[in-house]
């Protein structure tokens, strides 16, 4: 009987600089398919830097440590190669891409991951299935990618892309940022629908509020470029009630 391999993202002693300023100071973290990890911390703690470094953005320089995906060091891989391997990044501030239809973008992105192109019929079936799952309207997917979208629509666009592309590990960088309560519920519901045994999620957030709708398996707190504490959802609830000052004191 063939045993299915579970994909895993592992960060080992990662130190990163941006313009010669040290931002990450020895990060250790492991995210596997089927797990939801929440990464919390105040502004400037390095959460987004970690996500961008994992995906290979060139201004983030690794000075020591490793990023392993399924046991392979990804440091020499370009961002699109990391995406093809099964990593996905949802941006805090998604860009508008004039002239590129969302469906065309998604089909090309999906085909870049496949050995053989997906047929038009199968692609349409997949898109329809994900639209029904996430309650996406027809008009939403006929527009240029993110052009004229509200902040909430851009976040929904990212989650829809995540659903169609079906990566192994998804990094969601402050998906809840700037959302009103109704849009937050919609986006959180979409993430919850997508979560399951086939995807690992690293959910980066300042606040506990999105965790009212998504229950993480693990919560990690980042302060000054280090993960200083890990626990379950009760850790996020304590942070919501008491803020970060108490944990800053314990991290000294």
92-104, pLDDT tens digit by residue? Answer: 778 888 888 889 9
- Residues of the chain with pLDDT > 70: what percent? 97
Average pLDDT, the chain: 90
Q: Residue 246's pLDDT band (boundaries 50, 70, 90)?
A: confident
Write out the H or E segment, with its range, that includes residue 191: helix 181-194
Domain count, the chain: 1
CATH number at residue 241: 3.40.50.300
What per-residue confidence (pLDDT) applies to 4? 63
* 86 falls within a domain: yes
Query: Going by C-beta distance under 8 Å and a sequence separation of 6 or more, which residues neighbour residue 195?
Result: 36, 201, 214
* 85 falls within a domain: yes
* 180 falls within a domain: yes
Please give the model's pTM, rounded to 2 decimal places: 0.92
* 105 falls within a domain: no
What tokens does 5 get? 């391999």
Tell me the residue range of the domain where 176 lies.
Answer: 8-98+169-251
Length of the chain, please?
252
* 177 falls within a domain: yes
* 176 falls within a domain: yes
């Amino acid at each position: 009987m063939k045993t299915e391999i579970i994909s895993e993202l592992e960060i080992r002693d990662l130190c990163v600089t941006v313009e010669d300023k040290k931002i990450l100071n020895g990060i250790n973290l492991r995210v596997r398919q089927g797990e939801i990890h929440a990464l919390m911390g105040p502004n400037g703690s390095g959460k987004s830097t970690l996500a961008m470094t994992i995906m290979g953005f060139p201004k983030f320089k690794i000075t020591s440590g490793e990023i392993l995906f399924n046991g392979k060091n990804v440091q020499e891989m370009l961002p699109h190669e990391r995406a093809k391997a099964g990593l996905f990044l949802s941006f805090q501030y998604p860009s508008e891409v004039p002239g590129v239809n969302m469906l065309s973008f998604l089909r090309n992105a999906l085909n870049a991951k496949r050995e053989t192109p997906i047929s038009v019929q199968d692609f349409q079936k997949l898109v329809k299935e994900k639209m029904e799952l996430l309650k996406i309207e027809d008009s939403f997917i006929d527009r240029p990618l993110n052009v004229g979208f509200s902040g909430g629509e851009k976040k929904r666009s990212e989650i829809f892309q995540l659903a169609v592309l079906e990566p192994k590990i998804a990094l969601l960088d402050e998906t809840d940022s700037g959302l009103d309560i109704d849009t937050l519920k919609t986006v959180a519901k979409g993430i919850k629908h997508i979560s399951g045994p086939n995807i690992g999620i690293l959910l980066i957030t300042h606040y506990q509020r999105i965790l009212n709708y998504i229950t993480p398996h693990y919560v990690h707190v980042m302060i000054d470029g280090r993960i200083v504490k890990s626990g379950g959802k009760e850790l996020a609830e304590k942070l919501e009630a008491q803020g970060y000052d108490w944990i800053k004191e314990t991290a000294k």
